Chains A and B, each alone.
Chain A
Amino acid sequence: MAFFFNFILAHQGDSADPELLHWIKERLDGIFGPEPWVIVAIMGFAVLAIPVSVGLLYLLQANRRASAELRVDRDRLDREKAP
């Protein structure tokens, strides 16, 4: 029965394997130092940067599209005005 419940806990994620977590923690501690807040801040920033950058990229594209449409409209008007 023990293996069944070990499975259940382990299945909460491959990455939640205690040995693997310990290994990841050692690597991260080696890079950023053992202060947890530093790593929380860096990882939190990295995670939240994803939606922000997607949103910004979309806005940039929307602006570019709007100006392209404006240019097309202006060209058409110019052509219509021309004798």
Chain B
Amino acid sequence: MQTPATTKNPIYFGWYVCAASIFIGFVAIGARNSFGVFVVPMSDEFGWNRFTISVAAALGVLVSGLVQPFMGQVFDRTGGRKLILISLVILGGSTIMLSLTFHVLFLVFMFGIVASIAQGGPALSNTAALMSRWFKRKRATAISINSAALSLGGLVMVPFSMYLLQATNWRIAWVGLGVIVLLSLPLAYFFIHERPSQRGLYPDGEPEPLTEAGGGRNEATGPLEVETWKESFKSAPIWQMAASYCVCGATTFILSVHFIPFAIEERGISGSTAATIFGYMMGLNIIGSLGAGILADKIGGIKNWLALVYLMRGMAYILLITVDSVAGLWIFASVAGFSWVATLPLTSSLTADVYGLKALGTISGITFMFHQIGGFGSVLLAGLLFDITGSYTLPFAIVGALLFPAALSAFTIKERKYSTRYQPAVPAPAGGD
């Protein structure tokens, strides 16, 4: 362990791990989300229609959703460092290879399968598990910084790709994005370490965690801590979190796809104003995510914050449906924006606190899959109901109504009973995490 002299001021190494994973997520999400920018130039050159190019994107969405639990399992078994490094090499390489696209099947294979599988390595469910090992008291904060960075990554990297494409051509732009992904490798190599004990540290950079009685090194364990992901699904909290997370996916995806058309067609505003409101909402989600994580760590009661976030979003949906004006849309965006990504650090942190770290990658991967299923279902439902009723009001009302049981589901999680944060400490060998 470090001496008092050396621990006077240094930044805890966990924050470097956090910074590295932020940058990795930032560039990885950028490479993926930029796909939409390439649709028009690639379609123009090869004469593909929207359907053809959508197959690659559709496969990508499907593969990245399905592969996540498996990537989580690899993460849990290997510790994560190797998985993240190898995934980055493959993601960077496959992004560069996209510049050689000569046939739609090549695009489908390279983007829809190779890049999408590789994307699962540094995915947020895994980096959240990594953060959970390095942080305990500041766990939600570290995860919230990671998730906020992903939102920012999309907002920065996608316009960057757009300008790179404008300045060069789609082949060079793919190479540029791939090179940026590969540039994250040195940072990953030096700073992504699996657990604090590897560097002789304790979580949060504590010199030596104290018991409530002021004794020596102690570790609290929760009654539901699991060795394998299967065990977790025999208890209620994971189902409560997964169910509410599924509603989270449903209520965010539906807006991602249908908010701008709704604002233009049903509220009669211009595309530019609709985009401004949407951009404002995306910006607020960064603040919301950070705020939720910090508040949860400082004040405690993660499940209460989670319930509050769902409740806030539910209120926002009521505003969206009932207030028929531009002002209503702005108020909606203000309320919904704060809650957009805030569920992620809260759910990930609570999962780690309840089920421990041994199978966290897999468990997070599975709950993420629930989130994606909810999202997929809601978008299909909205499209279907829009075709039948000619309005988005009914689908928005249905998914919005689900937010209230989701809030109740989160609120009734017995956090004090199961979370390690509230367990009495028991003696454990020093140097562990």
Which residue numbers of A lie inside 8 Å of B, CB to CB?
3-26, 28, 36-37, 39-40, 43-44, 46-48, 50-51, 54-55, 57-58, 61, 64-65, 68-69, 71-72
Tell me the minimal C-beta distance from A18 to chain B in angstroms: 8
Q: List 30 A-B contacts (CB under 8 A).
A: A3-B382, A4-B380, A5-B54, A7-B253, A8-B57, A8-B61, A9-B50, A9-B54, A10-B36, A11-B375, A12-B33, A12-B34, A14-B256, A14-B282, A15-B33, A15-B158, A16-B35, A16-B36, A20-B279, A21-B162, A24-B279, A28-B159, A36-B164, A39-B160, A40-B160, A43-B163, A47-B180, A51-B20, A51-B187, A58-B191
With contacts A4-B380, A40-B163, A72-B5 taken as known, whether A17 is within 8 angstroms of B16 at the C-beta atoms is no
Question: For B11, what are the chain A residues with a Cβ–Cβ distance below 8 Å?
Answer: 57, 61
Q: Is the CB of A36 within 8 A of B157?
A: no
Chain A residue, CB-CB nearest to B58: A8
Q: Is the CB of A54 within 8 A of B20?
A: yes
Additional 7 contacts, C-beta under 8 A, given A58-B190, A61-B11: A10-B257, A16-B158, A18-B36, A20-B278, A21-B37, A36-B163, A40-B164
Closest A-B pairs by Cβ, 3 of them: A13-B33, A3-B383, A16-B36
Interface size class of B (residues with CB under 8 A): 35 or more
Q: Please report the C-alpha to C-alpha distance between residue A23 and residue B33 in the assembled complex, in whole angstroms.
A: 17
Question: For B256, what are the chain A residues with a Cβ–Cβ distance below 8 Å?
Answer: 10-11, 14, 17
Which one, A16, A19, A40, contacts B274 given CB within 8 A? A19
In the complex, identify which listed stretch (B21-29, B198-206, B321-329) lies at the interface while the others stay far away. B21-29
Which one, A7, A9, A23, A43, contacts B279 given CB within 8 A? A23
Q: Please report the C-alpha to C-alpha distance between residue A14 and residue B27 in the assembled complex, in whole angstroms.
A: 16
Q: Is the CB of B57 within 8 A of A12?
A: yes
Tell me the minimal C-beta distance from A2 to chain B in angstroms: 8
Q: Is the CB of B26 within 8 A of A50?
A: yes
DSSP class of B's interface residues: helix, strand, loop or mixed?
A: helix
Q: Is the CB of B35 within 8 A of A54?
A: no
Question: For B36, what are the chain A residues with a Cβ–Cβ distance below 8 Å?
Answer: 9-10, 12-13, 16, 18, 21
Which one, A6, A43, A69, contacts B159 given CB within 8 A? A43
Which one, A7, A16, A19, A43, contacts B275 given CB within 8 A? A19
Asked if B234 is an interface residue, CB under 8 A from chain A, the answer is no
Tell me the minimal C-beta distance from B68 to chain A in angstroms: 15
Q: Please report the C-alpha to C-alpha distance between residue A13 and residue B96 in the assembled complex, in whole angstroms.
A: 20
Q: Is the CB of A25 within 8 A of B54?
A: no
Asked if B166 is an interface residue, CB under 8 A from chain A, the answer is yes
Question: For A19, what are the chain B residues with a Cβ–Cβ distance below 8 Å?
Answer: 260, 271-272, 274-275, 278
